[in-house]
Structure 1
Amino acid sequence: ASREGDRWLVSCLGVLYLSKGLFYRVVPADQTFSAPEQYAGVFRFRLWWCGEWVEVLVDDRLPTVHGRLAFLQAHNSDQYWPGLLEKAYAKLHGSYEALKYGTLLDGLADLTGGITESISIRQDPTTCGRMLSKLLEMTSLITCTVQTTSTQIRNQVEKLANGIHIGTNYRLYAVERVETFSGEPVQLVKLRNPMGPGGEYVGAWARDSMDWDEVPPQEKERLAVRHMGDGEFWISYSDFVKTFSHLEVVHLDSDTSRDEPSLHHKNTWQMRLYQGAWQRGVSAGGCRNNPDTFHINPQLHLILSEMEEVIVSLNQHSIMEPKVIGFTAYSLPKNNSETIGKQFFKKNKSLVNSQYTNSRQVSHRCQLEQGGYLVLPTTFEPGQESSFTLRVYSSKPLKLKLLDTQPSLLKSAIIK
């Protein structure tokens, strides 16, 4: 149970709880929430914050109203970890009040250390299907939601006629092509409600649906239909794209996915990272609407070994006073090693432009040819200061380095 403003956090904790390896990195297993003889009254949590894992200590005092927890409480009232983890999270944000402004994507990133991406399902169901097949092979956690405008959500348990809850993140585990007696195969999607039992899906292909009579026994065996866990169910792909509006995906690199057994057989994302800062007068040039200062932003050289779809993610560390941030990319030969001057940007068209927003993370997926690229992370306005982390994910090898900022004249003097 929770208040309206924290619903995103409840969803995140539900997703985390289904991935035990990731869960125990955030909620270390060597502390007890119940055994009195080992009880110290202090709890440790680890959260990904401003580009690194930080340990947050909290005491066991939780705010209550009329004897009940004021904020998060697990369905099983003996479980206090959700309330304590929320307290640790509020401590990082500065207050419980600040959690009202959190978002699901931020929460998933802070709890896993991955980069997050929201993908519209309805915009293009065919592309979405292709993307899903690829994502299911990678070290990514895939969730899906029905998003509506907040005015439509009047009470917390609003759900659709087929039993799907609005605003809950369902975990997506598989997409399978299933043979039927009619000879017409059907695409099914395996989902799980992280809130566990209750709120069952009751549409076509639900647990006790007649649709399963059309499926040969060996196919049912392959899909382990009889051995489904709490909250697990299958839904046809056509109903899936009609029901859900967005995929919310967390991509994990080899370090972050190593702790999660369910991802060990997947292909690992290759990741390159740069942590830097925008400093006024030095490296805070603003976006490309500022041709006189744009070139002073940090210039990163990205080199791809083959044609590839990459995901670029920029995180700002100004949590309390977020800036409007984004990035721009240009083609740049592989052998270039020096920073690029003002004229280049006046003559060359940009190749990739992310959106600019004041969210903590901006990510952008782009299909790029093999070769070299220049990536400039920027604030929208020049002169704004913040540190940041830029990460590039690809399924193929890649390189990312900061271009040398020493002017070439100076270098030739040193070489002589």
Structure 2
Amino acid sequence: MGCAPSSDTGTQYASLGHHGNTNVSRKTKTPTDSQLYGNTNKSRKSSTSSSSSDGSSKSKEENQPNNVHPVPPPPVKLTENDKKQQQERKVITPPPPDPVPTPKEKEEAPPVLPPLPVVEKEERQPSPVPSPTPIEQEQERQPSPKPPPPPQDDNDMRNPTDEDQQQVPPTPQQEEEKQITPPPPQEEQKQKTPSAPPMPIPPDMNDETRNGGETIKPGKDNVDFDDTGNMETPAPPDFGRSEYIATDVGTKERFIDFRTEGGEFTNPSRPSPNDNGLYTEFEFTVDVAVPSASGLQWQRPAEICQNPALFTDGTTRFDIGQGRVGTCWFLSMVANIADKPRLLERVVPARDYKIGTNDYDGVFHCRFWRFGHWSEIYIDDKLPTSGRGGLYGAHSNTDPNEMWVALLEKAFARMYGSYDEVSGGRTADAFMNLTAGVGEAIKFETMKMSSQQLFRRLKNAFQSPTTMVGCVCPQKSDGQHGLVGGHAYSMNGTYQVGDNMLVRIRNPWGRQEWNGPWSDGSNEMSQYGGSIPHPNKDDGEFYMDVNHFLKYFEQCTICNLTPDVDRDGTADTLNYVTSLFGNWRRGKAGGFQSKLQNPQFCVTVSDQEADRDGNVPVVVQIVQKTSDRQDDKVGIRVDFYKVLHEDSDILVLDELGDKNNMYLIDFSSCYRFNVKPGKYVAVPSTMDSCDKDPRVLKEFLIRFFTAGPLTNPFEIQDSTTVMTGKGPDLEVDGSVLQLGCSQCITGKFVSGRNAGGQISCRDTFATNPQFFITINEPQSVKVEVMQPDQKNGFPIGIKLFETDRSSFQSDYNWFAQNYNNAVRDMSGNDGPFSYGSSVDCGYKLQPGTYVLLIHANGPEDQNDFAVAIYSERPVEIESSNL
């Protein structure tokens, strides 16, 4: 998701000056009362906005409505009084108190009126949404569109029991990035009706030390994310260490390298200044940086404003102002980490930018997480400007002298090649670049939650100090109630006022807000605005009822440092991150059709954090390495298997979540599982083989998020025979029954010994492998026969006979006489006979003794095999002719 550019954004920042202290510690900015609440005694003046199509560039992919780029309107022309207010925004001590109390006063002052009741019960229904406007009525008269296919988002982490993906093999879905023509200039808006002074804020509900109306829980391992002390420089992956290493954000990491080729992870050193004492990167010219625009020039911060500084009086989300580049998807996440000093310090080390000191060398240094490690990025601090000196890209929305937003956006563009390359994207990708965390997209058209359940999940999520939420407004909502279509917003809180469930959203433009119910100056805000913080401030931040949010937005992405396995909104304690690096290569890039001809990695899951049923949460993420952000992505996925049986040179695996793991053409894809402790195998694959698409010959990363350390990770060698089955799930009377007991037996069809072929082979049929089964009580049983996944496989048949004998059958005549009386499976057939790497059938069996016989096509067929017998309760099995 991205958004495009304002024509003159940043012009006013060249003429305004405010001294920036480069030595100020990064603390939370204290906004003035007018910043928090606006002027409640005056109606706001409106402005005439215009936009330009200059500089907007078409992406090479143009099919995904989620990745389009609207144009922010040009900046509001400031009056002399406005300029004075803008310069005063960053003072730490607020001006003399207004009739409205400051946040600290709100916490201590007794409320004038009793607070509205807070509804906490899940089953209680919200109050009716305000009557629709004529625009909404017109929309509702339109025929509702057909629901789209099941969500196939890279961050929509799949649960093996999900029912929204049923096609096998899946079709790769590409999340494409697109730009649109800038909208026409906006007409002057009517002045908003002056709002009444807000009601006092109940301190137990909306204390400013809280996030989203809820007390923030301690961070991971009690990490204080407001504290930037005792932070270490992230080191490249150390493949020589077998133990987990603690990080500054409470996770523990281990790195293992299984690549057969690929360089070491090294970071560049700080570049030296040029002859003039300032560093310049001559290769990254302004034409290379912004190929879609003309008439731009590089200027250093001192040429743009009077007193440039990296930070002035700390950082907040209100610093972020988008320019003429479609990076709203990136800036919405930057706004989120701006309120989390520890996370921001890891990205932008404050002491490394020397402007304003004798050590200033023109170098800006930051870090982005990319393909498993923190990449050190060094750029010169020249920024693209228009002919009038205004910043072309992002800027600080609170102080024209503050440079960190503009420099960070340039560094991000430099990492990927140009500003055009980062125009359009997805918030989950930006979150991963900024934090190394994981995001999960929730698409509203296909989600199975009610509005109350979504609100509860968001509310829970904001209890974590590292939660970040991005949301997407689709193109169809463009212009409706002030919303910008094809645009990424950030969400930073949830609040409940009576029966009304509210979400707080911010436009990274720093202006142009929702003007429907609960907006600044609305009747709802006039009546109840005192029950929520920061009402009536024209800064791009606004409130919406969750039902309107669901109507006008199309998805939200919940991001955290570790995944939310149970989808309750709260990040789970999966603090152990195990990173396996590998590569697809010839002979190990078989694509979907030959899935086991891909690299395979075995790990052991401990019982740490097992639930009452003995299940352990595991999230598996695959990340592909790309050389080009737009064009080098291929369809990827990772499959997860339970080791059912293990011999010295044989592995038999049960596949987990086969119908839910979709191939996604994106940087990464995540899948969640609840498993029993034991050994498991991860198989990363691409949709196409290397013979069909040579681009798949690339490096990949598999990350396991677990509650405890994984042990004994290794790559399975080619000498090991691997067979896979569908596992213990059995469909019974329209529902899926998971059979709790399993036994696995391996063998090999050998010509002249036990390769008996079909019933027509009179001399050999009775020599086929047989299994004598004793059933002591009625139950469902599943039989699955597997063979190695190879092109030279043959059909496999299964026959089950009831017998009153206590031994195996060796008489062909007995089989011939009883052949037509074979036990019928649940489909009414007498047993399957078909091609495939696995063949299975289910039975409802009464107490008794049975002979199970498996066979190939003819006596000459030779291959390894495995027989898995799943049952509700233990059964007795003997085998013969293996």
TM over 0.5: yes
Structure-2 separation of matches of 1:4 and 1:16: 20
1:293 aligns with 2:600: no
1:187 aligns with 2:492: no
Specify the SS of the correspondent of 1:274: strand
Structure-1 separation of matches of 2:460 and 2:673: 14
Structure-1 separation of matches of 2:331 and 2:603: 37
* Mapping for residues 329-408 of structure 1, pairs under 5 Å: 329-332=640-643, 341=651, 344=652, 348-352=654-658, 353-364=660-671, 366=672, 368-372=674-678, 373-383=680-690, 384-393=696-705, 396-397=707-708, 399=710, 402-403=713-714, 405=716
CA deviations on 1:290-342 (whole Å, 9 max, x unpaired) are 05624x43344555633466543211123333333111123335x9698864x
Structure-2 separation of matches of 1:63 and 1:72: 10
1:326 aligns with 2:637: yes
For residue 123 of structure 1, the aligned residue among 446, 453, 459 is 446
Structure-1 separation of matches of 2:359 and 2:687: 51
CA deviations on 1:125-162 (whole Å, 9 max, x unpaired) are 425345434433444312222133xxx69xxxx5431x
Give how far 1:199 is off.
1.9
Structure-1 separation of matches of 2:666 and 2:708: 29
Q: 1:326 to 1:7 in 2, by over 3 A?
A: same
AA in 1 matched with 2:503:
V
AA in 2 matched with 1:313:
Q
AA in 1 matched with 2:360:
Y
Partner in structure 1 of residue 561 of structure 2? 252
Partner in structure 2 of residue 81 of structure 1? 404
Specify the SS of the correspondent of 2:383: coil
Partner in structure 1 of residue 385 of structure 2? 64
Partner in structure 2 of residue 206 of structure 1? 519
Structure-1 separation of matches of 2:462 and 2:366: 29
Specify the SS of the correspondent of 1:389: strand
Q: 1:192 to 1:186 in 2, by over 3 A?
A: same
Q: 1:62 to 1:208 in 2, by over 3 A?
A: closer
CA deviations on 1:177-217 (whole Å, 9 max, x unpaired) are 433xxxxx332223344444x323322223443335776x9
CA contact (8 A) 2:574 2:705 kept: yes
Give how far 1:118 is off.
1.8
Specify the SS of the correspondent of 1:318: coil
Q: 1:96 to 1:233 in 2, by over 3 A?
A: closer
Structure-2 separation of matches of 1:339 and 1:391: 27
Partner in structure 2 of residue 257 of structure 1? none
Structure-1 separation of matches of 2:438 and 2:589: 25
Q: Where in structure 2 are there 5+ consecutive unaligned residues?
A: 1-321, 564-569, 691-695, 722-882
Structure-1 separation of matches of 2:396 and 2:649: 53
AA in 2 matched with 1:54:
S
Q: 1:393 to 1:236 in 2, by over 3 A?
A: farther
CA contact (8 A) 1:56 1:88 kept: yes
1:24 aligns with 2:345: yes
Q: 1:6 to 1:195 in 2, by over 3 A?
A: closer
Structure-2 separation of matches of 1:70 and 1:212: 35
Structure-2 separation of matches of 1:340 and 1:233: 60
Give how far 1:402 is off.
2.5
Q: 1:167 to 1:336 in 2, by over 3 A?
A: farther
* Mapping for residues 101-112 of structure 1, pairs under 5 Å: 102-112=425-435
Partner in structure 2 of residue 412 of structure 1? none
1:276 aligns with 2:581: yes
Q: 1:58 to 1:193 in 2, by over 3 A?
A: same
Q: Give TM-score, length-normalised by structure 1.
A: 0.74
CA contact (8 A) 2:562 2:575 kept: yes
* Mapping for residues 227-238 of structure 1, pairs under 5 Å: 230-238=539-547
Q: 1:142 to 1:234 in 2, by over 3 A?
A: same
Partner in structure 2 of residue 141 of structure 1? 468
Structure-2 separation of matches of 1:132 and 1:338: 48
Give how far 1:253 is off.
4.0
Structure-2 separation of matches of 1:228 and 1:65: 30
Q: 1:404 to 1:322 in 2, by over 3 A?
A: closer
Give how far 1:403 is off.
3.9
Give how far 1:361 is off.
1.2
CA contact (8 A) 1:137 1:266 kept: no
AA in 2 matched with 1:22:
L
Q: 1:235 to 1:339 in 2, by over 3 A?
A: farther
Give how far 1:5 is off.
4.0
Q: 1:134 to 1:310 in 2, by over 3 A?
A: farther
Q: 1:244 to 1:33 in 2, by over 3 A?
A: farther
Q: 1:339 to 1:408 in 2, by over 3 A?
A: closer
Give how far 1:266 is off.
7.7
AA in 2 matched with 1:145:
V
Give how far 1:401 is off.
5.4
Structure-1 separation of matches of 2:646 and 2:329: 44
Structure-2 separation of matches of 1:250 and 1:141: 5
CA deviations on 1:231-254 (whole Å, 9 max, x unpaired) are 444322222221221112222149
Structure-1 separation of matches of 2:536 and 2:647: 57
AA in 2 matched with 1:40:
D
Q: Give TM-score, length-normalised by structure 2.
A: 0.38
Q: What's the RMSD between the two structures over aligned residues?
A: 3.8
Specify the SS of the correspondent of 1:63: strand
Structure-2 separation of matches of 1:279 and 1:176: 48
Partner in structure 2 of residue 160 of structure 1? 480
Give how far 1:176 is off.
3.9
Partner in structure 2 of residue 240 of structure 1? 549
Give how far 1:110 is off.
0.8
Give how far 1:34 is off.
4.9
CA contact (8 A) 2:333 2:470 kept: no
Structure-2 separation of matches of 1:266 and 1:390: 20
Specify the SS of the correspondent of 2:421: helix
AA in 2 matched with 1:390:
I
